[in-house]
Amino acid sequence: MNKLPSSCKFILQFLKYNEILSAQELHERMRLSSSKAPSLSTTYRSLEILLKEKQVQSVEFRDGEKRFELVKIGEHHHHLICETCGTIVHMEECSIIHWKNRISEEHGFLLKQHVMEMFGLCNLCTTVTDQ
Amino acid sequence: MNKLPSSCKFILQFLKYNEILSAQELHERMRLSSSKAPSLSTTYRSLEILLKEKQVQSVEFRDGEKRFELVKIGEHHHHLICETCGTIVHMEECSIIHWKNRISEEHGFLLKQHVMEMFGLCNLCTTVTDQ
DNA sequence: CTCGATGCAAACGATTTGCAAAATT
DNA sequence: AATTTTGCAAATCGTTTGCATCGAG
């Protein structure tokens, strides 16, 4: 429970769980709601701090744009993203944890972090795409 | 077996299995070895084609730079990256395939693609880091 | 008064694009 | 001759940085 710069606290008030935003989207949202919103650079800097504090996780889609998501401190999870309609399913549990030991044994690796996102078609789009 | 533009064939001759290169690194390598090397833009365009043809897979580390790796057509795999020394372990088999059905059932999602990379400490660096 | 936090504008770096020339079919 | 591929330079876009100012303690 470090004391965070005020910009970080400001940001936290504008993030909801299960919502994935880029730094720019977040900044835009804050700017529209308040004249005391932190600048874009500060937004970037603060998100970096919140990442280190694990109050936020970063989500990497494939467009090279980093996105961020509020999490319960220290937790994280992964997503299913529909390539057609953009629907995002937040998977409650990170299954990679189950491999940690196996990977450790097989490759002598101690896992620290990972990146994982899955792309496909959601239920609705699967049926629709039968064209 | 589509017929590829000559730049793609050129590129394929400069890629080895289990080697991960950015577009720029690849371009530099080609440029140094041959005066007929494709330009940087063409390198980008060609890698995009090779990706679609699944002759190459893209590997996403966390520095925002896309990297590419030669694969047997249609296959792919993931990596363990040591955060200290940079060692990369190529994991022979993609374990996510095993989840495909479960995810399909649980979330009605049809998986098409995914991104996964794992970061940590390799055997050597684990012991060394005991400082 | 000191030091961290902030805003602004400029810098950066990877990638993409417009367009005209060159190569392929 | 029509179509695709290519190179070059400029544009783009997200992100980072230098630096001077602001503000909390």
- Region B63-85: what's the mean pLDDT? 93
CA B26, CA B23: separation in Å to the nearest integer? Answer: 5
Query: Which domain does A103 fall in, by range?
Result: 76-131
Q: State whether A108 and B96 contact (CB < 8 Å).
A: no
Instruction: Give the number of A-B residue pairs with CB atoms closer than 8 Å.
Output: 98
Flag whether pLDDT at A72 surpasses 70: yes
- When pLDDT is cut at 50, 70 and 90, the band that residue A81 belongs to is very high
User: Residue A126: which pLDDT band, with cuts at 50, 70 and 90?
Assistant: confident
Taking 90 as the threshold, does the pLDDT of residue B121 lie above it? yes
Whether residue B94 is found in the same domain as residue B127: yes
- Asked if residue B90 and residue B51 are part of one domain, the reply reads no
Residue A130: its pLDDT value, please?
A: 52
pLDDT at A46 over 50: yes
Least trusted range by pLDDT, from A22-26, A35-39, B14-18, B115-119:
B115-119
Average pLDDT of the segment spanning B16-35: 97
Q: Last residue of a domain, which of B74, B90, B121?
A: B74
Kindly state whether residues B42 and B97 are assigned to the same domain.
no
A85 with A59, same domain? no
CATH number for the domain that contains residue A64 = 1.10.10.10
Same-domain check for residues A80 and A70: no
| Binding-site residues on chain A for chain B (CB distance < 8 A) | 60, 62, 64, 66, 80, 82-83, 89, 91, 95-96, 99, 103, 107-123, 126
Same domain assignment for residues B65 and B29: yes
Specify the number of domains making up chain A. 2
DSSP B107-121: H--EEEEEEEEEEEE
Say yes or no: B65 and B9 in one domain. Answer: yes
Report pLDDT for A100: 80
Q: Are residues B85 and B114 in the same domain?
A: yes
Residues 6+ apart with CB under 8 A from A12: A50, A55, A70
CATH number of the domain enclosing B109: 3.30.1490.190
Q: Which of residues 31-70 of B touch strand D (CB under 7 A)?
A: 37-39, 41-42, 45-46, 64
Same domain, B57 and B90: no
In this predicted structure, the answer to whether residue B40 has a pLDDT above a threshold of 50 is yes
Over chain B, what is the mean pLDDT? 91
Of the residues A43, A74, A105, the one at which a domain ends: A74
The enclosing H or E element of B59 equals strand B56-60
Within 10 angstroms of residue B17's Cβ, the number of other Cβ atoms is 9
Q: Mean pLDDT, to the nearest integer, of B59-88?
A: 93
Q: Which residues of B touch A116 (CB under 8 A)?
A: 114-116
Final residue before a domain boundary, out of A50, A74, A98 = A74
DSSP string, chain A: -PPPPHHHHHHHTT--BT-EEEHHHHHHHHHHH-TTPPPHHHHHHHHHHHHHTTSEEEEE-SSS-EEEEE-STT---EEEEETTT--EEEESS-GGGGGHHHHHHHH--EEEEEEEEEEEE-HHHHHHT--
Query: What is the pLDDT, as a whole number, of residue B38?
Result: 98
- Distance, Å, A39 CA → D21 C1': 15
Q: Which of A13-22, A118-127, B92-101 has the highest mean pLDDT?
A: A13-22
- Say yes or no to pLDDT of B27 above 90: yes
pLDDT category of residue B1 using cuts at 50, 70 and 90: low
Q: Is it the case that residue B131 has pLDDT exceeding 50? A: no
Segment B20-45 mean pLDDT: 97
Spatial CA neighbour of B58 closest among B26, B99, B96, B31: B26
Which nucleotide has the shortest C1'-to-CA distance from A4?
C5
A44 interaction partners in chain B (CB closer than 8 Å): none
Same domain, B59 and B4: yes
Say if residue B67 is in the same domain as residue B3.
Answer: yes
**CA A18 – C1' D22 distance (Å)?**
35
Residues A4 and A27 in one domain: yes
